[in-house]
Amino acid sequence: MFGKWTRRSTLLVAIGAAGLLLLIAAALFIVRRQADAAPVRAAFSDLLRDLDRGAVAGIVISGDELDFTRRDGTTARTTAPANYVTANPDFIPGLARKDVRIDVKAPRDQSAYDYGAVLIAVLFVGTLGFALYRMNSGRIPALENKTRAADREASTVTFDDVAGVDEAKEEVRELVDFLREPGRFAGIGGRIPKGVLLVGPPGTGKTLLARSIAGEARVPFLFASGSDFVEMYAGVGASRIRKLFKDARRHQACIVFIDELDAVGRSRGGTSLSHEEREQTLNQLLVEMDGFAPNQGIVVIAATNRPDILDPALLRPGRFDRQVTVGAPDLKGREQILRIHAKKVAVDDRVDLRQVARGTPGFSGAELANLVNEAALHAVRSGRQIVTGGDFDQARDKVLMGAERKSLTMSEHERVTCAYHESGHAVVAALLPHADPLHKVTIIPRGRALGVTMQLPEGDRHTHTREFLEAQIAILMGGRVAEEIFLRQMTSGAGNDIERSTEIARRMVCEFGMSPNLGPLAYRQADGERGAGISESTAQRVDEEVREIVMRGYETARQIVDKRRAAVRAMAEELLVVESLDAEGIREILGRSA
């Protein structure tokens, strides 16, 4: 909105500057015309001298202002002394005796507006008004309606295009059926829900689900974004909310969709004046959803990924009756999503999309769509017109590990250090029983890392055991241990590994209650500050427990690397030659070095 306002302000300044220059030119022209039309000023003594010698042909008396015309045709204006004409009764008869034509006019009103000044003011105000009118495309900002209606013919997304969120789709499908056949539910006294809130992380398909409703529903579908109601003008948001529901009430049944509800539905409170306009907008939304005005047949659907900051009044029954969670898809859902997006590109029949889905745990629908697109782009860059399994592997590696930084040149010493570092990670990960299987090891710089050891879980994991977390710490410590044992050095390359292992250990102690000495207690408040609300002695014990867990993982990694020195050395030497090893290559090296 700021960029849009800046462009409009620039346009207004340009139009105003042009109008101001035009007004200045008009004012100079008017002043020049008035200056040319005004008679020449003369002294009063000049008038008396011209009268004595009979050179005056006519005179116009307007109070103390005297305009006289000489017999040679020239004109002049002078000012007589105060009350000179009325105090000298012989003045006017004397003029008549000298054959001077006399004309008397009412004195000029000095308080009257000058016509030129009035014209300039009118032109200036008119120019500014026209500029404001054009700046807003002929619409008053406060009354501009940003609500859009979905075109039924243009709405091509249906429920068949939504996959991976079967439970959420069923909830919404029931809502559409309610609108299509209200009598079927009203027969037993059921009423239509007034609002449905779609909640989930970014990219899981909340907006896509709403678009599918527009494609499936046979009722009008109005949609707007939460930011459409937040403006810098006071009262604009509330006015647009009223206009939205006024348009909705014109239909017997209607669906209203508000995307990014948290932009307008944030909890009220605080003393900042900047919140006043947003709170007025929220109040109007609360009243429209469940107030005195009838809303029969109007269903409000909203989407947000921040339900924790919404106002409690929005979430009560009678406003948003249902909260539908749209989460990350499982293995079956990921396969369905991949098949939907794979229809849009030429995919080799030998590609196993289920296997691709297995290798993308935790991916959202948007990330899977990006994966298919990256695979298609990789195929085009490789000079092929069909997407193969190798393209999907390259696309997955790019999404998970980052793009290859081929332009980054490492010295030979750095390559050797990176090779042993990643080999340490890989050997520890391969030999720990509770770790995820290895997928790839590379010393090609990707993203912000000089090398990457990548693991892929065999299935979706929603909880983590203590053994799994301890294995993760040992794997992270494997790179530093390999540097110390084989290269007799410490580098900054293990900085991120140390940070991540410390964070895992701290969460084990402070959140998961996995410390036998401190017990199943939470040492972190809801605001996320570590150690908040605990005593100094307890904080010291927390630090000691965290250090003990990390050092235990460090010792586990040291024992494994020291025991399998041949495997680490062989893997590092192979990486220096081929730069990347897949899971099969890693198993082969471990088998030869056993």
Handedness of CA 287, 290, 292, 293 (dihedral sign): positive
Residue 116, SS3 per DSSP: helix
Tell me if residue 422 is catalytic.
yes
d(CA 367, CA 204): 9
DSSP state of 530: B
d(CA 166, CA 337): 12
Q: Which two tokens stand for residue 454?
A: 């990548």
d(CA 378, CA 384): 9
Q: Which two tokens stand for residue 458?
A: 């065999």
User: Are residues 387 and 376 in contact, defined by beta-carbon separation less than 8 angstroms?
Assistant: yes
Q: What is the dihedral of CA 437, 442, 445, 447, to 10 degrees?
A: -20
Dihedrals phi, psi of 559, to nearest 5 degrees: -65, -40
User: Are residues 435 and 471 in contact, defined by beta-carbon separation less than 8 angstroms?
Assistant: yes
Query: Which residue type does 594 have?
Result: A
In Å, how far are 338, 430, 552, 553, 575 from 483, measured between CA atoms? 41, 18, 18, 16, 15
Dihedrals phi, psi of 362, to nearest 5 degrees: 85, -5
d(CA 406, CA 325): 41
Q: Which of 374, 422, 470, 483 is catalytic?
A: 422
d(CA 404, CA 397): 9
Indicate the pairing of strand 298-304 with strand 195-199.
parallel
DSSP state of 236: H
Q: Which two tokens stand for residue 358?
A: 């297995």
Dihedrals phi, psi of 92, to nearest 5 degrees: -70, -45
Q: Which two tokens stand for residue 288?
A: 């429209």
DSSP state of 486: I
Q: Which two tokens stand for residue 543?
A: 């630090």
d(CA 368, CA 336): 10
Beta bridge partners of 225: 259
Active-site amino acid positions:
422
